[in-house]
Amino acid sequence: MITVVGSVNLDIVGTGKTLPKAGETVTGARLARHPGGKGANQALAARRLGAEVRLIAAVGNDDMAEEALKLLRAGGVDLSATQYINGETTGVALIAVSEEGENQIVVCPGANEALDPGDVEGMDIKHMMGVLEVPAATLLAAAERTTGFIALNLAPAMPVPPTLLERASLLVVNETEAAFYGDALHAPGRYVAISLGGAGAELWKDGAKITSARPPEVHVIDTTGAGDTFSAALTVSLINGKPPEEALRYAVTAGALACTRPGAQPSLPRRAEVEALLRG
């Protein structure tokens, strides 16, 4: 089983012709609400790709919590370690999107910031995935209880304890995050995956690039969720013992598929879809 330690959000999206300037009100936008949060996205992505998944997370004891968790619950993610916290709100991302695809995002972390190291006490964790939308101390506490593979998606980029990086089997970053962390990413025996958007991704080990892969051509509708899909697919593949080259190709293919549908969690592909595109 893979245990994901991460965030749960409800994404509230307003799409209109233009984005507001400071002090300006823009009307006529269309409203959509989607379950989100990088932890929840990666948990559901890994589950749809065939892994057994448990999510350690926190939501508020409010009317947004079940909406944020509904696709995880329907998808078979184990939510027994997901807490409802009184006095906290479920995490929310307020997203404004223009016709050209530009966006403005305000994240209200809410209960995500209340996920405490004590919340992982007593848990047996075989394999772990983590994201930086919850406290680093909680990720470290979970990593110290993990006996197998540890994958950390270092997003959003921020300073993290060196002791957390030292425990990682795999670090996943994009180009901006790779520049932020620099040489601290690389250590003997550790994989580092650098996603390059439409150009694909690179996989490094022991400080040297060992392989790269480009995604298949797809009709891109919405790139939301592609990075989370990539991270989950690469982690699942490496845990399952796939060779690095095959694992990276699988991951970029899964990420590309996530771009063919709107929304984050609704767009996450299933294993059969990825395998069919790889064969094609």
| Positions marked active-site | 228
- Where does residue 165 fall: left (phi above 0), alpha (psi -120 to 50 degrees), or beta otherwise? alpha
Cis amide bond preceding 156, omega within 30: yes
Is residue 37 within 8 Å of 45, Cβ to Cβ?
no
Token pair recorded at residue 148 = 């197998």
Q: What's the one-letter identity of residue 58?
A: A
Measured distance CA(280)–CA(264) in Å, rounded: 24
- Phi-psi bin for 237: left (phi > 0), alpha (psi -120 to 50), beta? alpha
Partners of residue 34 on adjacent β-strands:
11
Torsion of CA 173, 178, 184, 190, to 10 degrees: 40
Instruction: Give me the half-sphere count of Cα atoms (radius 13 Å) on the Cβ side of residue 69.
Output: 25
CB 93 within 8 Å of CB 12: yes
| Residue 155 to residue 129: CA distance in whole angstroms | 12
Sheet holding 103-108, edge to edge: 30-36, 9-15, 91-97, 103-108
